[in-house]
Amino acid sequence: MHPYQQQPDRAFWRRAVSDIGWRDLDLVGTPKFHLTPDARVATAGSCFAQHIARHMRQRGMQPMLVEQPHPLEQAAGRDGSDYQTFSARFGNLYSSRQALELAEQALGVREPIDDYAEDEGRIYDLLRPNAVKGGFDNLAHARADRRFHLGRVRHMFETCDVFVFTLGLTETWYHAERGHTYPVCPGTAKGTYDAALHRFRNLTQAEVLLDLQRLVALVREVNPRVRFIFTVSPVPLVATYSGEHVLLASSYSKCTLRSACGELAAADDGVLYFPSFEIVSHVASFGQYLQGDLREVTERGVGHVMDCFFTALYPGLGNGAVAAPAPAPVSAPAAPDLAKILQTECEELFNDRPAG
Tell whether the model's pLDDT for residue 333 goes beyond 50. no
CB 305 within 8 A of CB 41: no
Give the model's pLDDT for residue 77: 62
CB-based burial label for 76 (10 Å; 0-12, 13-18, 19+): exposed
Give the model's pLDDT for residue 327: 43
Tens digits of residue pLDDT in 171-219 = 999 999 999 999 999 999 999 999 999 999 999 999 999 999 999 999 9
* Paired sense of beta strands 171-175 and 198-202, if any: antiparallel
- Which residue stretches of 7-86 are H helix? 13, 50-58, 71-75
CB 150 within 8 A of CB 66: no
Tens digits of residue pLDDT in 81-111 = 778 889 999 999 999 999 999 999 999 999 9
Tell whether the model's pLDDT for residue 338 goes beyond 50. no
Give the model's pLDDT for residue 319: 57
Using CA atoms, how far apart are residues 335 and 117, in angstroms rounded to an integer? 30
Using CA atoms, how far apart are residues 93 and 102, in angstroms rounded to an integer? 9
Using CA atoms, how far apart are residues 190 and 350, in angstroms rounded to an integer? 9
Residue 269: CB atoms within 10 Å? 9
Residue 45 bridge partners (DSSP): 166
Tens digits of residue pLDDT in 249-280 = 999 999 999 999 999 999 999 999 999 999 99
Interior angle at CA 137, CA 134 and CA 140, nearest 5: 125
Band (76; pLDDT cuts 50, 70, 90): low
Residue 316: CB atoms within 10 Å? 10
In the three-class reduction of DSSP (H, G, I as helix; E, B as strand; rest coil), residue 23 is classed as helix
CB 280 within 8 A of CB 234: yes
Using CA atoms, how far apart are residues 149 and 82, in angstroms rounded to an integer? 13
* Paired sense of beta strands 181-182 and 198-202, if any: unpaired
Tell whether the model's pLDDT for residue 75 goes beyond 70. no
Q: Where are the beta strands (DSSP E) in the chain?
A: 41-45, 116-119, 122-125, 162-167, 171-175, 181-182, 198-202, 227-232, 271-274
Cα Dmax for the chain: 75
Give the model's pLDDT for residue 79: 66
- For helices 139-159 and 96-106, the axis angle rounded to 10 degrees is 90
Band (74; pLDDT cuts 50, 70, 90): low
Using CA atoms, how far apart are residues 123 and 109, in angstroms rounded to an integer? 26
Using CA atoms, how far apart are residues 318 and 250, in angstroms rounded to an integer? 33
Give the model's pLDDT for residue 328: 45
What global pTM score does this model have?
0.89
Give the model's pLDDT for residue 248: 98
